[in-house]
A and B are shown apart, each in its own frame.
Chain A
Amino acid sequence: MQFETVIGLEVHLQLATQSKIFSGSATTFGAEPNTQASAVDLAMPGMLPVLNERAVRYAVMFGLGIGADIGRRSVFDRKNYFYPDLPKGYQISQFSDPIVGRGTFEIHLEDGSTREIGITRAHLEEDAGKSLHEDFQGASGIDLNRAGTPLLEIVTEPDIRSAEEAVAYLKALHSLVTYLGISDGNMAEGSMRCDINISLRAAGSDTLGTRAEIKNVNSFRFVEKAIQHEIERQSDILEDGGKVVQETRLYDADRNETRPMRSKEVANDYRYFPEPDLLPVVLDEAFIEELRASLPELPREKRARFVSDYGLGDYDAGVLAASRALADYFEAVASEAGDAKIAANWVQVELLGRLNRDERDITDCPVPAAQLAQLIQRILDNSISGKIAKQVFEAMWNGEGDADSIIAAKGLQQVSDSGELEAMVEAVIADNPGQVEQYRAADEGKRKKLVGFFVGQVMKVSKGQANPQMVNQLLAEKLG
């Protein structure tokens, strides 16, 4: 039987505020346990929350970034449950009146197609602390540094149809929020955590099947694998005539499987009600318009501009516009090198390839944009060939200096001296009489192939430094 996969995602995005959403404590990642927990975060008696205005700004910026309805009056609610890392016994969240309403999100797939993913809502809430079960014998430790960190929970419609689309959505989301500067998007540190709602239905059906929710998946790769595994699991059940149980599951990356959470971990009645300690958030038009005016160029706009201004293909433009840092890097290289297409090619192929190989981020790139631009200029002014340039790039990557000093130090300057080249060409012709004869006997079509052999020989003799255009020209003359 053919199944269609239906996926909705809930992403918990940590907002990059300096202080917590309801207290003045810092939000720095990785501090000593409980050193960033104030009396408010500890839920000491009589303590009250005060809303961080920056968190509101960030949420509104997100809403504007996806063209969503902004809640002119949003309300905080208490979500009640007991857990040791939830100090108040309730989480302050937004339930009935979120700050961001409906919006849409465009994703680009590898086959070049695009899809619209509906955003149901996005609401502000506070993060919980962490329970530490290791290092304590017969007890658990509680670290409340994270308690009260501002989160934006972004909920999609069940519009996603595959693991690929899910990952494309998450990447696009990551791109948007880092463009906006509202989150560091650091998934390894939990800045973007994903809950996956997934169900299968018979292809062509328009009723939804029973879904499972996979909680707290925190990397693009795990999201992909968790979905693939869950599709397999659910289709096995359905094919055997069974029924999928609506439940919450955990993705175990070590075993690459999902398994049900213990029922204790699943609270069933959160007894939501409006948080009486906070006033409703009322936003006026001036506030919203001020934020709208302050929005940076967003990925979609940048991508379009790269196509129109630099003549890049849509796919390439998308790759380069995916992160603000990468786009800025590319634009710096392009403007300094003076050739956007070559710059795009170098950034996309050599630089990204190298970054991926070392698992580094563009923000952590050892080759500054100016250096890459200089390297490209040396190609453009025929100082080096594209092939030698790759060698120079590798040296730059290893911190051996900028392009010019590496070319000089290693003597990689292209040989464009006609006398020198002529001698090399004549020597190669003299050393390969058989190939010369073959060449001279061949027709025009075959000659084109055979000339490659001579070019290769000259390059070998010149250690790759011969100017290939001049070599071609000389060979054509000498071979007759």
Chain B
Amino acid sequence: MHDQTVAQLARALRDKQFSSLELTEHLLRRIGQLDGQLNSFITVTDEQALDAARRADEALASGRAGPLTGVPIAHKDIFCTRGVRTSCGSRMLDNFVPPYDATVVRQLSDAGTVSLGKTNMDEFAMGSSNENSYYGPVKNPWNAALVPGGSSGGSAAAVAAGLVPAATGTDTGGSIRQPAAFCGITGLKPTYGRVSRLGMVAYASSLDQGGPMARSAEDCALLLNAMAGHDPADSTSTRRDVPDYCADLERPLDGLRIGLPKEYFGEGLNAATGECIQAALKELESQGATLVEVELPNSQLTIPTYYIIAPAEASTNLSRYDGVRYGHRCADPQDLHDLYTRTREEGFGDEVKRRILVGTYALSAGYYDAYYKKAQQARRLIRDDFLACFESVDIIAGPTTPGPAFGIGEKTADPVAMYLEDVYTLAVNLAGLPGMSVPAGFVDGKPVGLQLIGQHFDEGRLLNVAHRFQQVTDWHNRTPELAGGTA
């Protein structure tokens, strides 16, 4: 059961091949047996999952089932879940139990999915390796010595390891796509505004976007159908109608123009990774697509721009963690200043502190114009580059990451080397575009991700291209060997 896709499981559930309860029990058992090696879950909600599975089975029996009814999923621990601890990977929220569900959580629950629990992540979604979690690093299921990527590393590892067929993630600078690439799964970051951010703990509000992580593009489409839509409680969510993302999956690629930014294939790209990407592009070409070289001349601004805007927003988004109302509070505060400083010193990890400091600096009087304002101008240039490309191409493609997963501990001492991991993904967030990572091969047994970037609100086209690709490749069907799992 555990190596099937969401689409396959949903069909099997409707055909009564097995019940949601059986499926849920099986996966919970696998989590119990295998997650000790991976650390992909922070919280497993057995009881609630079994209850939800029973309800799903009732719906299935009575014919009230939707396309996701009874399908187990997991939520990145950044999404608030009513009555279930939502830690955001931080000591600061280790004791935080929200009295509300994130809109995404509610939507997926309304769709009949069964949540197995909350997945591990870099603290407050800040990281590219999942090493910044208060709950310890997540291991890559393909090789336990490697990182799974971050910040949605727990979701990616859990899906890759067959602990859950799909999971939610969030992507502020690549946090869905990069771990999807490192773990050999399919992940979609929707257009900014497509999915509600309500109840999603904020890292950088103008960049954060939730999305699905699963084994196939079809599965991502199924999940996005449930997740997308206007939320009156999120002013930045769009009122645009939600298309049926499954409707166009089979559309032929004839005439599709794929732009290849030359900046994404130059220096810094691992050669073997580059070969995988070229092979994948050939495959798309053989299906009728045209490959066109394009330019994103302001690409070199991406990393500095992101690392001003994201920390600036984060520095104030994280001000609410002050020990006053919820979350960690230091013992015996002597006065207000002591309460603030010790609470935040104890509650936040190093990377979070680093970004708060950088962001606070960038917004300070006297530096605002030189940093934040400049970064906003650069952001516009980066966005304009993409929009200019889209005048001549339908989608853009390239590698998701410069190379495959690296070793745990390999880059922790060098934040800048770590930041460079996101060089191909950050710009998509800055431009607010949808982006996907699709399995496209292996380098030394390590998965490689093909990144597809679409026009605003053109998720359907990305899913279509990825799906067609997955019809003729089997990279996404490969699963890692894990010791001790039951079949």
Are the C-beta atoms of B336 and A84 separated by less than 8 Å? yes
- Chain B nearest CB from A182 CB (Å) reads 23
Are the C-beta atoms of A90 and B319 separated by less than 8 Å? yes
Are the C-beta atoms of A271 and B325 separated by less than 8 Å? no
A142 within 8 A of B: yes
Are the C-beta atoms of B235 and A50 separated by less than 8 Å? yes
B96 within 8 A of A: yes
Are the C-beta atoms of B365 and A271 separated by less than 8 Å? yes
B16 within 8 A of A: no
B187-223, CB under 8 A of A: which get 1 and which 0?
A: 0000000000111111011100000000000000000
B374 within 8 A of A: no
Are the C-beta atoms of A51 and B205 separated by less than 8 Å? no
**A residues 264-317 with Cβ under 8 Å of B?**
269, 271-273, 276-279
B485 within 8 A of A: no
- Chain A nearest CB from B83 CB (Å) reads 14
Selected contact of A44 from candidates B197, B324, B326, CB within 8 Å: B326
Selected contact of B199 from candidates A46, A49, A84, A269, CB within 8 Å: A46
Are the C-beta atoms of A45 and B93 separated by less than 8 Å? yes
B340 within 8 A of A: yes
B80 within 8 A of A: yes
B364-376, CB under 8 A of A: which get 1 and which 0?
A: 1100100010000
A80 within 8 A of B: yes
Are the C-beta atoms of B235 and A90 separated by less than 8 Å? no
Are the C-beta atoms of A50 and B233 separated by less than 8 Å? yes
Selected contact of B86 from candidates A39, A45, A48, A84, CB within 8 Å: A45
Contact A39/B99 with A271-B360, A271-B364 known, Cβ cut-off 8 Å: yes
Cα A84 to Cα B322 in complex, Å, equals 8
**Which residues from chain A contact B340 at a C-beta distance below 8 Å?**
82
Selected contact of A46 from candidates B202, B204, B319, B364, CB within 8 Å: B202
- Chain B nearest CB from A53 CB (Å) reads 12
Contact A273/B319 with A44-B326, A47-B198 known, Cβ cut-off 8 Å: no
B10 within 8 A of A: no
Are the C-beta atoms of B324 and A46 separated by less than 8 Å? no
**Which residues from chain B contact A48 at a C-beta distance below 8 Å?**
197-198, 233-236
A388 within 8 A of B: no
A362 within 8 A of B: no
Are the C-beta atoms of B202 and A89 separated by less than 8 Å? no
A88 within 8 A of B: yes
- Chain A nearest CB from B198 CB (Å) reads 5
Are the C-beta atoms of A89 and B320 separated by less than 8 Å? yes
Residue of B at shortest CB range from A24?
B233
**Which residues from chain B contact A50 at a C-beta distance below 8 Å?**
232-235
B102 within 8 A of A: yes
Residue of B at shortest CB range from A43?
B320
Are the C-beta atoms of B368 and A273 separated by less than 8 Å? yes
Are the C-beta atoms of B316 and A78 separated by less than 8 Å? yes
Are the C-beta atoms of A46 and B316 separated by less than 8 Å? no
A42 within 8 A of B: yes
**A residues 389-439 with Cβ under 8 Å of B?**
none
Are the C-beta atoms of A45 and B201 separated by less than 8 Å? yes
**Which residues from chain A contact B360 at a C-beta distance below 8 Å?**
271
B181 within 8 A of A: no
B18 within 8 A of A: no
A87 within 8 A of B: yes
**Which residues from chain B contact A88 at a C-beta distance below 8 Å?**
319-320
Contact A45/B98 with A269-B364, A271-B365, A278-B235 known, Cβ cut-off 8 Å: yes
Residue of A at shortest CB range from B102?
A46
Cα A82 to Cα B320 in complex, Å, equals 9
B88 within 8 A of A: yes
Are the C-beta atoms of A89 and B316 separated by less than 8 Å? yes
**Which residues from chain B contact A43 at a C-beta distance below 8 Å?**
320, 325
Selected contact of B236 from candidates A47, A272, A279, CB within 8 Å: A279
Are the C-beta atoms of B88 and A142 separated by less than 8 Å? no
**B residues 224-274 with Cβ under 8 Å of A?**
232-236
Cα A56 to Cα B315 in complex, Å, equals 28
Are the C-beta atoms of A273 and B372 separated by less than 8 Å? yes
Interface size on B, residues (CB 8 A): 43
Cα A51 to Cα B236 in complex, Å, equals 11
B363 within 8 A of A: yes
Interface centre among B88, B232, B315, B324 (most CB of A within 10 A): B324
- Chain A nearest CB from B338 CB (Å) reads 13
Cα A46 to Cα B198 in complex, Å, equals 6
B312 within 8 A of A: yes
**Which residues from chain B contact A279 at a C-beta distance below 8 Å?**
235-236
Contact A42/B325 with A90-B319, A276-B313, A278-B235 known, Cβ cut-off 8 Å: yes
Task: Count CB-based A-B contacts (< 8 Å).
Answer: 98
Q: Chain B interface secondary structure, helix, strand, loop or mixed?
A: loop
Are the C-beta atoms of B324 and A84 separated by less than 8 Å? yes
Cα A51 to Cα B322 in complex, Å, equals 25
**A residues 2-52 with Cβ under 8 Å of B?**
39, 42-51
A73-105, CB under 8 A of B: which get 1 and which 0?
A: 000001010101001111000000000000000
Cα A271 to Cα B372 in complex, Å, equals 10
Residue of B at shortest CB range from A51?
B235
Are the C-beta atoms of B205 and A276 separated by less than 8 Å? yes
Cα A249 to Cα B206 in complex, Å, equals 38
Selected contact of B316 from candidates A39, A44, A80, CB within 8 Å: A80
**Which residues from chain A contact B201 at a C-beta distance below 8 Å?**
45-46
Cα A469 to Cα B324 in complex, Å, equals 77
Residue of A at shortest CB range from B200?
A46
Are the C-beta atoms of A142 and B235 separated by less than 8 Å? no
Cα A271 to Cα B373 in complex, Å, equals 12
Are the C-beta atoms of A273 and B80 separated by less than 8 Å? no
**B residues 85-105 with Cβ under 8 Å of A?**
86, 88, 93, 96, 98-100, 102
Are the C-beta atoms of B322 and A89 separated by less than 8 Å? yes
Cα A273 to Cα B317 in complex, Å, equals 12
Are the C-beta atoms of B235 and A39 separated by less than 8 Å? no
B299-320, CB under 8 A of A: which get 1 and which 0?
A: 0000000000000110110111
**Which residues from chain B contact A142 at a C-beta distance below 8 Å?**
324-325
Residue of A at shortest CB range from B326?
A44
Residue of A at shortest CB range from B124?
A45
Cα A443 to Cα B233 in complex, Å, equals 90
Are the C-beta atoms of B93 and A89 separated by less than 8 Å? no
- Chain A nearest CB from B100 CB (Å) reads 6
**Which residues from chain B contact A78 at a C-beta distance below 8 Å?**
316
Cα A51 to Cα B324 in complex, Å, equals 25
Are the C-beta atoms of B312 and A273 separated by less than 8 Å? yes
Residue of B at shortest CB range from A139?
B333
Cα A47 to Cα B86 in complex, Å, equals 14
**Which residues from chain B contact A276 at a C-beta distance below 8 Å?**
204-206, 236, 313
**Which residues from chain B contact A90 at a C-beta distance below 8 Å?**
316, 319
Are the C-beta atoms of A271 and B316 separated by less than 8 Å? yes
Residue of A at shortest CB range from B193?
A279
Residue of A at shortest CB range from B92?
A45
Cα A45 to Cα B79 in complex, Å, equals 9
**Which residues from chain A contact B322 at a C-beta distance below 8 Å?**
82, 84, 89
Cα A80 to Cα B359 in complex, Å, equals 12
**A residues 318-359 with Cβ under 8 Å of B?**
none
**B residues 152-211 with Cβ under 8 Å of A?**
197-202, 204-206
Residue of B at shortest CB range from A38?
B100
**Which residues from chain A contact B99 at a C-beta distance below 8 Å?**
39, 44
Are the C-beta atoms of B363 and A80 separated by less than 8 Å? yes
Cα A48 to Cα B204 in complex, Å, equals 13
Are the C-beta atoms of A269 and B365 separated by less than 8 Å? yes
- Chain A nearest CB from B417 CB (Å) reads 28
Nearest 9 interchain pairs by C-beta: A89-B319, A276-B205, A271-B363, A276-B206, A46-B199, A43-B320, A45-B201, A269-B365, A46-B80
Q: 15 A–B contact pairs at CB < 8 A?
A: A43-B320, A44-B98, A45-B80, A45-B96, A46-B80, A47-B199, A48-B234, A48-B235, A49-B235, A51-B235, A78-B316, A82-B340, A87-B320, A271-B316, A276-B313
- In addition to A45-B88, A46-B198, 16 A-B residue pairs with Cβ atoms within 8 Å of each other are A45-B96, A45-B201, A46-B197, A46-B199, A46-B201, A48-B198, A48-B234, A80-B363, A82-B340, A84-B322, A87-B325, A89-B316, A89-B320, A273-B363, A276-B236, A278-B235
